[in-house]
Chain A
């Protein structure tokens, strides 16, 4: 334990160290302001870019889980292999209600009936997927947010279809016209069904527009004379909630194949996973270059101040205090750079908080399942990571210079 007078003397020493450090930093205005600017650019650059990458990451996950797969997607193993309606399963509504109604982390769930079809208009023929949905339950997916020309589906008994813009253009048909789909029914027999196009939807992604035709699930079941469904899609409040519930759901459907969005969108999942690694590597590269700048500057400073360090040692400053003083200089400069850098980063992020448009590079962006607009997502843990790593590196960079300064022999320093 420190006595009152001892702690007071420690306080005086800290004050002295702070005064010496700040003034020594100030003494080399030019050199240190260049370094400071480098730190500011590095810190604000890393924070801004990390936020954008995080924004992309969030968006990527959002895209994936708002897709048909949702967080967790249940199909029969056979259907995954060969998506024929006959590979569907019976919907046990009371079991699903029992299972899901109590789940607080659940955002929603729905069931769908899928079938591959050949679509014919009066002019063209294309392959696509016909998906029977329950519109009232589709708030968990992108379907509810689709921009639609014409009428959307509102009930599970709706027997018209909505069709993606891209496919619609390819089929060279008109709103309100009829299309005929050919599919294999539950009996394995080819069956033609006519549908009226009630709406045309625009999706962010071309792939969806070309692939999916939606109709009411109940209506499709009636047309196919079946009660089977192809999948259950479950959406949670967050990724973490989904992970926690996964085992429980697997256990609840022992005969079915329970897949996560990561398994169904391996590319997105991979991108999601490597973002953390990318952020860390990029942080290390930027900050390591800073460390060398800092190291160089401090080594020069120690060399320049050799004589005065000799004097203060002769007067009675302990070498540990010399060590602390040099380390303090490094940390002070870094702290100042971090504070200003964060400020700049926050200002910039606020300026672009509505998102920046990357449509110039949209082709590449779409490939990664992204919309062209990226909204930055500032995460506390990224800020903590940047601040923590920078401070650590500031200490690290000062180790050698501080050690050298503490080793300075006062006699030699004064003699030279």
Chain B
């Protein structure tokens, strides 16, 4: 591990319980784990083991029912909804399985969206969005709406949007679930580039062996607990 890396996210005996009484589900059970900066982590495990739940807690979309989540050293339990929203806006990039983009906005506008929320001026915004499009090799679809893009293109635009505000971590929940193997391969290459060249931490949940191949750390979940945590 590089010397300048530091702990980005720390779970301290985190539990997340859904429902109550008869329908009670322990999605995560007393999980303690650390995500270090510049890691490329895959969270793997069978369906329902708690991968999405874990990513949502990391991404400050959700709050644990028990335990603490520290983001860059700070506890997040006491933060208000708008503070969490602002943290997500400035520090975290999300990519989901599908339907990631805002349908009424074009590719370039989708990418500009977080910057616009941050109040970045039009010129700077557009330039940064175009730079990213170029780096991700999708300049030709800049003005298309999501409905006119392929699944792979949509995911690339989603990644561009997640990266545009220089987040510290990119969180991707099964980003390749709806993609064919070639597109998945391309996506994985892209994620590796993002991780190595942009020096952005990546946490990705996936069933896909290919995605697991690319990751340098794999956290195996089973029934809401960490089964195995391996570095490769």
Please list the residues of chain A having a beta carbon within 8 angstroms of any beta carbon in chain B: 5-6, 8-10, 12-13, 15-16, 19-20, 23-24, 26-27, 307-308, 311-321, 410-411, 414-415
Beyond A20-B104, A27-B104, whether A13 also contacts B116 by CB under 8 A is: yes
Q: How many angstroms between the C-alpha atoms of A16 and B164 in the bound complex? A: 17
Q: Are B85 and A312 in contact (CB under 8 A)?
A: no
Q: Are B96 and A414 in contact (CB under 8 A)?
A: yes
Partner of A12 from the list B92, B102, B116 (CB cut-off 8 Å) is B116
In the complex, number of A-B residue pairs with CB atoms less than 8 Å apart: 82
Q: How many angstroms between the C-alpha atoms of A137 and B122 in the bound complex? A: 73
Q: For residue A317, which residue of chain B has the nearest CB?
A: B117
Q: Are B113 and A315 in contact (CB under 8 A)?
A: yes
Q: For residue B104, which residue of chain A has the nearest CB?
A: A23
Q: How far is the CB of A100 from chain B (nearest CB, A)?
A: 68
Partner of A415 from the list B52, B103, B121 (CB cut-off 8 Å) is B52
1/0 contact trace for B95-125 toward A, CB 8 Å? 0100111111100010001101111111000
Q: List residues of chain B with CB within 8 A of the CB of A314.
A: 59, 61, 88, 94, 96
Q: How many angstroms between the C-alpha atoms of A24 and B102 in the bound complex? A: 10
Q: How far is the CB of A12 from chain B (nearest CB, A)?
A: 5
Q: Are B161 and A315 in contact (CB under 8 A)?
A: yes
Q: How many angstroms between the C-alpha atoms of A216 and B66 in the bound complex? A: 103
Known: A13-B119, A314-B94, A317-B89. 8 other contacts (CB 8 A): A13-B117, A20-B105, A315-B89, A315-B94, A315-B114, A315-B117, A316-B92, A318-B81
Q: Are B121 and A319 in contact (CB under 8 A)?
A: no
Q: For residue B158, which residue of chain A has the nearest CB?
A: A311
Q: How many angstroms between the C-alpha atoms of A414 and B61 in the bound complex? A: 11
Q: By DSSP majority rule, is chain A's interface helix, strand, loop, or mixed?
A: helix
Q: List residues of chain B with CB within 8 A of the CB of A321.
A: 117
Q: Are B114 and A411 in contact (CB under 8 A)?
A: no
B148 at the binding interface (Cβ < 8 Å): no
Q: How many angstroms between the C-alpha atoms of A348 and B59 in the bound complex? A: 58
Q: For residue A415, which residue of chain B has the nearest CB?
A: B52
Q: How far is the CB of B128 from chain A (nearest CB, A)?
A: 14
Q: Are A316 and B88 in contact (CB under 8 A)?
A: yes
Q: For residue B121, which residue of chain A has the nearest CB?
A: A8
Q: How far is the CB of A317 from chain B (nearest CB, A)?
A: 6
Partner of A307 from the list B62, B99, B114, B122 (CB cut-off 8 Å) is B99
Q: List residues of chain B with CB within 8 A of the CB of A13.
A: 116-117, 119
Partner of B88 from the list A19, A23, A315, A415 (CB cut-off 8 Å) is A315
Partner of A9 from the list B81, B118, B161 (CB cut-off 8 Å) is B118
Beyond A16-B116, A316-B117, A317-B117, whether A311 also contacts B88 by CB under 8 A is: no
Q: List residues of chain B with CB within 8 A of the CB of A316.
A: 85-90, 92, 114, 117
Q: How far is the CB of B14 from chain A (nearest CB, A)?
A: 15
Beyond A314-B88, A411-B56, A411-B62, whether A16 also contacts B81 by CB under 8 A is: no
Q: List residues of chain B with CB within 8 A of the CB of A12.
A: 116, 119-122
Q: List residues of chain A with CB within 8 A of the CB of B117.
A: 13, 16, 315-317, 321
B20 at the binding interface (Cβ < 8 Å): no
Q: Are B114 and A308 in contact (CB under 8 A)?
A: no
B82 at the binding interface (Cβ < 8 Å): yes
Which residues 155-190 of B have a CB within 8 angstroms of A? 161
Q: Are A311 and B99 in contact (CB under 8 A)?
A: yes
Q: What are 6 sample pairs from A and B whose C-beta atoms fall under 8 A apart?
A: A9-B120, A19-B105, A315-B88, A318-B81, A410-B61, A414-B96
Q: List residues of chain A with CB within 8 A of the CB of B92.
A: 316
Q: List residues of chain A with CB within 8 A of the CB of B120.
A: 9, 12
Q: Are B116 and A15 in contact (CB under 8 A)?
A: yes
Q: How far is the CB of A404 from chain B (nearest CB, A)?
A: 16
Q: List residues of chain B with CB within 8 A of the CB of A317.
A: 85, 89, 117
Q: For residue B56, which residue of chain A has the nearest CB?
A: A411
Q: How many angstroms between the C-alpha atoms of A15 and B109 in the bound complex? A: 12
Beyond A8-B121, A23-B104, A27-B104, whether A318 also contacts B85 by CB under 8 A is: yes
Q: Are B85 and A319 in contact (CB under 8 A)?
A: yes
Q: List residues of chain B with CB within 8 A of the CB of A414.
A: 96
Q: How far is the CB of B98 from chain A (nearest CB, A)?
A: 10
Q: How many angstroms between the C-alpha atoms of A311 and B98 in the bound complex? A: 10
Q: Are B99 and A319 in contact (CB under 8 A)?
A: no
Partner of B82 from the list A8, A20, A26, A318 (CB cut-off 8 Å) is A318
Q: For residue B173, which residue of chain A has the nearest CB?
A: A414
Beyond A311-B102, A314-B88, whether A319 also contacts B116 by CB under 8 A is: no
Q: How many angstroms between the C-alpha atoms of A315 and B96 in the bound complex? A: 11
Q: List residues of chain B with CB within 8 A of the CB of A16.
A: 113, 116-117
Q: Are B82 and A311 in contact (CB under 8 A)?
A: no
Q: How far is the CB of A160 from chain B (nearest CB, A)?
A: 83
Q: List residues of chain B with CB within 8 A of the CB of A318.
A: 81-82, 85-86
Partner of A23 from the list B81, B105, B118, B119 (CB cut-off 8 Å) is B105
Q: How far is the CB of B188 from chain A (nearest CB, A)?
A: 22
Q: How far is the CB of B174 from chain A (nearest CB, A)?
A: 11
Q: List residues of chain B with CB within 8 A of the CB of A410.
A: 61
Q: Are A311 and B104 in contact (CB under 8 A)?
A: no
Q: How many angstroms between the C-alpha atoms of A15 and B105 in the bound complex? A: 13
Q: How far is the CB of B87 from chain A (nearest CB, A)?
A: 8
Q: For residue B87, which residue of chain A has the nearest CB?
A: A316
Q: How many angstroms between the C-alpha atoms of A10 and B119 in the bound complex? A: 7
Q: How far is the CB of A3 from chain B (nearest CB, A)?
A: 11
